Every structure is written in structure tokens, then in C-alpha cells.
Amino acid sequence: MRLKSQTNGKVPGLAVVLVGSRKDSETYVRSKKKACKEVGIISLEENLPVDSSEEEVLNIVRKFNDDPSVHGILVQLPLPKHMNEERVLAAISVEKDVDGFHPLNIGKLAMQGRTPLFVPCTPRGCIELLLRSNVEIKGKRAVVIGRSNIVGTPAAMLLQRNQATVTVVHSYTPNPAEITREADIVIAAVGVAHLVRGDWIKPGAVVIDVGINPIEDPSAKKGYRLVGDVCFKEAAMKASAITPVPGGVGPMTIAMLLRNTLDSAKRAYGLLD
């Protein structure tokens, strides 16, 4: 562990705040804690009941802001409806915003000549997949389907920073299939099972599927299985490369969260170049 030897045994710390007991959120948090353990990041967790007040959540966030052993703070979304997500996320110190959702980080990500402290994990994972697979991004046409704050919008910014010509397709786009068919690189992040069919894909395009949608499946043990936003079977016949669901982007998201946390710890210890 290089960091540990450079910091007199100090290691990165990630704090996770979970409100309520949504099954999917609990699963995510468990995966994140497991991944932390594997790489030697200390993980702290605060689990609040679903009827907690916003002030209670804010107090937890503030406690972690003040704790020098914590380098990343992650509030698992979605929060219960009675809480103001914007206010809770804004309370996270921008230096510990390892999710990269703070508007200051998003703004810097959008701007030329600026560098955000953190890049949101899922979009960063998508780009990392492209780069590690030697997909040329520069000069290519990219289409991002979906414009969420968490995936679509930052993914479009990252593709553009890598010199792609980017179009964002969303619910008001009248002809999403036609536009997507122009793309050399497609990132689907819209949360609709099998929305993207084979005829949306230009032959040879590279497809990254961020969706994780449960669909009924009587043959499955739980009665459902998880599928992406892309109809994999059809798209795989057209694409030169495509990510599966589950197993494609998901693990990358967690890997990038660990990397953001490590970067944050290095920054705190004055070890980042």
C-alpha cells in the first residue's frame, strides 16, 4: 500500500449515509462497503430510519465534514420524499464530494480550462471503459440518451472534454432512434428497460448501457431479473462493442468511487500532483 507508507499508516475513509431501508439502496451500500474493504479504504456508515428529519441527516453530514479521517461522503440516493435532496447534497463539503454531484464540480466539469475536484463515478466509469478498450473518442459523434444530473449530463460533458461531438437525447426528442443512429458512441442512461433497439444502432458503434431495470421473469428465483436500457441481443448484432447488464458499468461505478476517495485522501495528505 503505497499511500499507507507515505502517510504513516493513515488510510482513506469513506462515509456512507443511508436513510431508510430501500432494498436496492441497501444492496448498493453493501457492495460499496465490500469494495472498500478489499482495497483497504475504511468505510463508515450511518443508517437512519426513513422517518428521520432532514436536520438529523444534515447533522450527520456535518459531523463527517468535520472528521479528518473521512475523505469522501456519500449520501445514498434517493432520499425519502420529505427531504430536500438539493439541500442535503449541498451540505457535503465540496472537498469530500466523492460523488461529484456538487454544482461547483458539475460547473467546472462543463467549463473549458477548469478541473473539477471530483468527476461523478458512473460517467467516469463509462469513459474509463472506452479509454481502456482503446475506443477513439476524439472527433467521433456521441449520443447520450438521458440527461440526469447523475449520469447523462456529466457523461455528455466528459465525452465533449474528450473531443467528441455530443448530442443529448431526452424525453422531448421526437426521433431518438434516428439521432442515435448517427452516433459512433452511444451511452444509454434513461432507466427504461430495452428502450434502445437494434435499429437505433449504427453498424460498428460502441454502446455503453447504464440502465439497471427490473423486469418480471417467472423463471427467476426472485420473480424478476435486471436488464439494461438497451436490448442487448439486438444491439449486440450491430455494435462493435457493448457492455452487458448486469456486470458492465456497475462495477466501474464502484471502482471510480474508490478512486475518487483515494484521490481525496491524497489531496488531504498533500500527496496529489
Pairing of strands 224-227, 213-216: antiparallel
Would you state the cell numbers that stand for residue 39, as one nine-digit string?
482495497
Least gap, CB of 140 to a copy of itself (angstroms): 9
Q: Which residues pair with 225 in a beta bridge?
A: 215
Rule CB under 8 A: say whether 110 interacts with a copy of itself.
Answer: yes
Contact indicator for 206, 135 with CB cutoff of 8 Å? yes
Would you state the cell numbers that stand for residue 60, as one nine-digit string?
450527520
Least gap, CB of 104 to a copy of itself (angstroms): 5
User: What distance in Å separates the CA atoms of residue 106 and residue 108, rounded to the nearest whole number?
Assistant: 6
Least gap, CB of 69 to a copy of itself (angstroms): 28
Quick check: is 99 catalytic?
yes
Of 4, 10, 24, 32, which residue is the catalytic one?
32
Rule CB under 8 A: say whether 30 interacts with a copy of itself.
Answer: no
**Residue 144 phi, psi (nearest 5):** -105, 125
- What residues numbered 184-223 form the site for a copy of itself, per CB under 8 A? none
Rule CB under 8 A: say whether 81 interacts with a copy of itself.
Answer: no
Rule CB under 8 A: say whether 103 interacts with a copy of itself.
Answer: yes
Rule CB under 8 A: say whether 113 interacts with a copy of itself.
Answer: yes
- Residue whose C-alpha is closest to residue 227's, from 192, 179, 272: 192
Least gap, CB of 157 to a copy of itself (angstroms): 8
Nearer to a copy of itself among residue 6 and residue 163 (C-beta): 163
Contact indicator for 180, 186 with CB cutoff of 8 Å? yes
Rule CB under 8 A: say whether 251 interacts with a copy of itself.
Answer: no
- What residues numbered 165-184 form the site for a copy of itself, per CB under 8 A? 165-170, 172-174, 179
Element spanning 241, H or E: strand 241-242
What is the DSSP annotation of 37-106? HHHT-EEEEEEE-TT--HHHHHHHHHHHHH-TT--EEEEPSSPPTTS-HHHHHHHS-GGG-TT--SHHHH
Quick check: is 76 catalytic?
yes
Rule CB under 8 A: say whether 104 interacts with a copy of itself.
Answer: yes
Most distant CA atoms of the chain, gap in Å? 58
Nearer to a copy of itself among residue 172 and residue 203 (C-beta): 172
Least gap, CB of 164 to a copy of itself (angstroms): 8
Nearer to a copy of itself among residue 117 and residue 242 (C-beta): 117
Residues engaged in binding a copy of itself (CB under 8 A): 86, 102-114, 138-139, 141, 147-149, 153, 157, 160, 163-170, 172-174, 179
Active-site residue set: 32, 76, 99
